[in-house]
Amino acid sequence: MEPIINTIERSAVKLTVEDFKSDQMVKWCPGCGDHAILRAVEKVLPEIGYKKENFAFISGIGCSSRFPYYVQTYGFHSIHGRASAIASGVKIASPGLSVWIVTGDGDSMAIGGNHFIHLIRRNIDVNLLLFNNQIYGLTKGQYSPTSPLGSHTKTSPYGTIEHPFNPGELVLGAQGTFFARGVDVNPKLMTEIMFEAAKHDGTSVVEVLQNCVIFNEGAYNMLTDKENREERLLILRNGEPMIFGKNRDKGIRLNGTRLEVVNIGENGITEKDLLVHDQHSKDPGIHLMLAKMSYPEFPVAMGVIRSAKSETYDDLMEQQITEIKAKSKIKCMDDLLNSGETWFVE
């Protein structure tokens, strides 16, 4: 991986996984997908290369939000839904930090939905790991805003009657500049997209499809089973045609204004007819279609779906301060207190 170049101070020595291992007991259930995500994060942090004190992990409430206890960085385990708002303050106040939000589908899509979309709209340079297990785990099995329509849970014994959010769609609708999707059973892909997220200037949202062994066991099995995963997941690579399938014989083509799955070699279709992934495209049109692809009509798109350049809030803030400071005659509080209309009383 190429080194990340920005203003965050880098470590003088090569860091390792051990530098980020927490001394706390990890209290997630055995077999929970969160363990794999934690290992991916421990692995990617030394690769990113910043000084170990320059990482801050901010979380809300839920199973995922226990994350800051389990990684050795500056950490803040906050309140339900508010991690995005707290992290915004951390990054704006201290732009030299690499700020990571760890959140879940309840924390970010429900109670924290407003902060989530506004964080993205502002393009504050933070990385958000969204653990999507389509269920409320810590409160023991109620449906979440990403539970599929008809899900039977403790608060929907007859099936849910509300339509779920697709997080990618929400991110792009909020003018997101970075969206990637990974899955807990593919640690290599997770590490890759987390690194890409760190590299991106702006709000990076990484959705991880994560299995809750207790309350939603096997929610993603139909996508992740060894038998089927290559047929049902499309792993996107920038600049490469969109090919998937065990025999790499299927692809995605743009037909008119819609995507479609085609078989390479049938009806004269070759690789050249396939869409080539351009994650940097400013126009989010294709990215949105990719994010929305769902099984069984389509394979589910994995990897970096969008990574577009745009100014970040924190950079603009620093620029504005530098510019206004240079122009202003007021350099300190004494100047301000004595500015404008004042007069002397004898």
* 5 near other proteins, rule: CB under 8 A: no
The one-character DSSP state at 233 is E
* 6 near other proteins, rule: CB under 8 A: no
Nearer residue to other proteins within complex by CB, 149 or 324? 324
Contact yes or no for 22/68 (Cβ under 8 A): no
287, burial (CB in 10 Å: exposed 0-12, middle 13-18, buried 19+):
buried
Three-class SS state of 34: helix
Nearest distance in Å: CB 129, other proteins: 16
Quote the tokens at residue 346: 């004898």
Quote the tokens at residue 147: 């539970």
Taking residues 279 to 318 in sequence order and writing x for each that binds other proteins by CB under 8 A, - otherwise, the string is --------------------------------------x-
Rounded CA gap, 9 and 241, in Å? 37
Nearer residue to other proteins within complex by CB, 63 or 223? 63
Tokens 């990340």 correspond to what residue?
Answer: 4
Nearest distance in Å: CB 204, other proteins: 18
* 330 near other proteins, rule: CB under 8 A: yes
Among 72, 127, 146, 160, binds other proteins (CB under 8 A): 72
Among the listed ranges 51-59, 141-149, 165-173, 236-244, the one in contact with other proteins (CB under 8 A) is: 51-59
Nearer residue to other proteins within complex by CB, 51 or 253? 51
Tokens 């920038």 correspond to what residue?
Answer: 238
Residue type, 174: A
* 62 near other proteins, rule: CB under 8 A: no
What would the DSSP string read from start to end of 179-231?
EEEEETT-HHHHHHHHHHHHHSSS-EEEEEE---TTTSTTTTHHHH-TTTHHH
How many residues belong to the site for other proteins (CB under 8 A)? 57
Q: How far is CA 208 from CA 153, 194, 214, 224, in A?
A: 21, 10, 18, 13
Tokens 């294709």 correspond to what residue?
Answer: 286
Quote the tokens at residue 93: 């106040």
* 263 near other proteins, rule: CB under 8 A: no
* 123 near other proteins, rule: CB under 8 A: no
Nearest distance in Å: CB 33, other proteins: 22
Nearest distance in Å: CB 26, other proteins: 12
* 344 near other proteins, rule: CB under 8 A: yes
* 94 near other proteins, rule: CB under 8 A: yes
Quote the tokens at residue 279: 């994650």
Rounded CA gap, 154 and 136, in Å? 10
Nearest distance in Å: CB 85, other proteins: 4
Could you check whether the bond before residue 299 is cis, i.e. omega within 30 degrees of 0? no
Rounded CA gap, 246 and 239, in Å? 21
Cross-strand pairs, 59 = 77, 102
Among 28, 43, 45, 75, binds other proteins (CB under 8 A): 75
* 58 near other proteins, rule: CB under 8 A: yes
Nearer residue to other proteins within complex by CB, 93 or 149? 93
Rounded CA gap, 162 and 210, in Å? 21
Among the listed ranges 29-37, 50-58, 256-264, 288-296, the one in contact with other proteins (CB under 8 A) is: 50-58
* 10 near other proteins, rule: CB under 8 A: no
* 115 near other proteins, rule: CB under 8 A: yes
* 13 near other proteins, rule: CB under 8 A: no
Q: Which residues bind other proteins (CB under 8 A)?
A: 24, 51-54, 56-58, 61, 68-69, 72-79, 82, 85-94, 96-97, 114-115, 118, 317, 320-321, 324-325, 327-328, 330-334, 336-338, 340-346
